[in-house]
């Protein structure tokens, strides 16, 4: 879309993207590069790109306990990034409450998994160019859709809103709901079952997630996912101050968006 293309042009201006990476060595114990060195060189020497991800946010990142592997849109995109870097991906599990610190304190090279670009996060870390426009919208039992079309209808005594801890869903609910009861539920994978079972009335989350959860739980319906309460974009989270690495990630993502790679991966998980 045009706004993203303009954003790409601005973000790529002035970046020098290395044309090749020399591959050598093994993974180190830390994702952090040596002082003054680009993360690109560290990744190439290590032979891996270390990716922080929560593993609890379908369709972007899900850890399957049966297979012991991560899967989802951003897991496939992490494999694509690793291929572009000429290395292998290593996934580091994190939580929404710790993902920002893990992405900036050297635990990983990049964080991926449906991460919303926010100004508070951008104060401490860098984001890639955006790859998806999204926004917050409710999901509830289908028979209750008409009851929760607006924030005023949701923010009433007796309405039970459920949230996962530490991310933008919780912060949005606490900022906008003063009368509804907010329950923090620790497992973002099974949280929608609480609504199915009648233990909560609704959850406010990203429209992309509500569409997928409707397919997984036909009893649940997204409330106006095409007209969410907010505007937000998703991107990949990285440490600040490494223009060469930032430029490489931005250019890789720019190409993936332009040549259909991202759309192909996204369609595989959403259709």
Q: What is the pLDDT of residue 25?
A: 31
Asked whether the beta carbons of 269 and 113 are under 8 A apart, the reply is no
25 and 94: one domain?
yes
Q: Which two structure tokens, joined as six digits, stand for 208? A: 């992309």
Q: Which two tokens stand for residue 104?
A: 């900036």
- Please list the alpha-helical segments (H only) found in 114-270: 119-124, 151-154, 168-176, 191-196, 207-216, 243-258, 261-270
Q: Give the tokens for residue 143.
A: 């028979």
Arithmetic mean of pLDDT over the chain: 89
Asked if residue 21 belongs to a domain, the reply is yes
Identify whether residues 260 and 192 lie together within a single domain: no
Q: What is the pLDDT averaged over residues 203-211?
A: 95
**CA 149 to CA 163: how far, in whole Å?**
18
Residues 76, 9 within the same domain: yes
Let me know whether 169 and 203 are in one domain.
Answer: yes
Instruction: Examine the domain organization and report whether 61 and 151 are in the same domain.
Output: no
Q: 229 in a domain, yes or no?
A: no
Please report whether residue 32 resides in a domain.
yes
The 10s digit of each residue's pLDDT in 89-132 is: 999 999 999 999 999 998 999 999 999 999 999 999 999 999 99
Q: In this structure, is residue 125 part of a structural domain?
A: yes
| pLDDT higher than threshold 60 for residue 219 | yes
Assess whether 8 and 115 both reside in one domain.
yes
Q: Are residues 16 and 129 both part of a single domain?
A: yes
Expressed as residue numbers, the domain containing 153 is 136-222
Q: In which band, very low, low, confident or very high, does the pLDDT at 37 lie, cut at 50, 70 and 90? A: confident
Averaged pLDDT for residues 53-82 = 96
Q: Say whether both 47 and 117 belong to one domain.
A: yes
pLDDT of residue 35: 65
Tokens of 212: 């997928």
Domain boundary at 183, 201, 222, which? 222
Three-state DSSP class for 203? Answer: strand
Q: What 3-state class would DSSP assign to 149? A: coil
Instruction: Please give the model's pTM, rounded to 2 decimal places.
Output: 0.78
pLDDT band at 194 (very low <50, low <70, confident <90, very high): very high
187 and 113 co-located in one domain = no
In the predicted structure, residue 4 carries a pLDDT above the cut 60: no
Confidence of residue 271 (pLDDT cuts 50, 70, 90): confident
Residues 81 and 198 in one domain: no
pLDDT of residue 232: 95
Q: Is residue 228 part of a domain?
A: no
If asked whether residues 11 and 90 sit together in one domain, one would say yes
Q: Is residue 182 domain-shared with residue 61, that is, in the same domain? A: no
Domain CATH code at residue 16: 3.40.190.10
- Residue 53 resides in a domain: yes
Cis-peptide, bond into residue 59, ω within 30° of zero? yes
Q: Is residue 190 part of a domain?
A: yes
- Does 255 map to a domain? yes
Domain count for the chain? 2
């Amino acid at each position: 879309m045009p706004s993203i293309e303009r954003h790409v042009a601005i973000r790529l201006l002035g970046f020098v993207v290395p044309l090749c990476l020399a591959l050598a060595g093994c993974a180190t114990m830390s994702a952090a590069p040596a002082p003054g060195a680009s993360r690109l060189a560290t990744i190439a020497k290590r032979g891996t790109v270390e990716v922080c991800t929560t593993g609890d946010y379908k369709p972007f990142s899900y850890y399957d306990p049966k297979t012991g592997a991560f899967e989802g849109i951003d897991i496939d995109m992490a494999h694509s990034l690793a291929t572009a870097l000429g290395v292998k991906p290593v996934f580091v599990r994190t939580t929404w409450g710790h993902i920002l610190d893990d992405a900036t304190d050297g635990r990983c090279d990049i964080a991926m998994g449906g991460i919303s670009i926010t100004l508070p996060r951008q104060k401490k870390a860098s984001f890639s160019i955006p790859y998806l426009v999204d926004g917050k919208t409710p999901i509830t039992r289908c028979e209750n859709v008409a009851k929760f079309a607006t924030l005023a209808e949701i923010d009433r005594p007796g309405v039970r809103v459920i949230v996962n801890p530490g991310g933008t869903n919780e912060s949005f609910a606490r900022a906008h709901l003063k009368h509804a009861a907010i329950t923090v539920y620790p497992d973002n994978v099974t949280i929608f079952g609480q609504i199915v079972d009648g233990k909560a009335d609704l959850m406010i989350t990203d429209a992309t997630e509500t569409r997928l959860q409707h397919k997984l739980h036909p009893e649940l319906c997204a409330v106006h996912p095409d007209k969410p309460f907010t505007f937000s974009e998703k991107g990949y989270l990285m440490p600040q101050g490494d223009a060469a690495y930032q430029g490489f990630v931005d250019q890789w993502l720019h190409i993936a968006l332009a040549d259909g790679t991202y759309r192909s991966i996204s369609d595989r998980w959403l259709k």
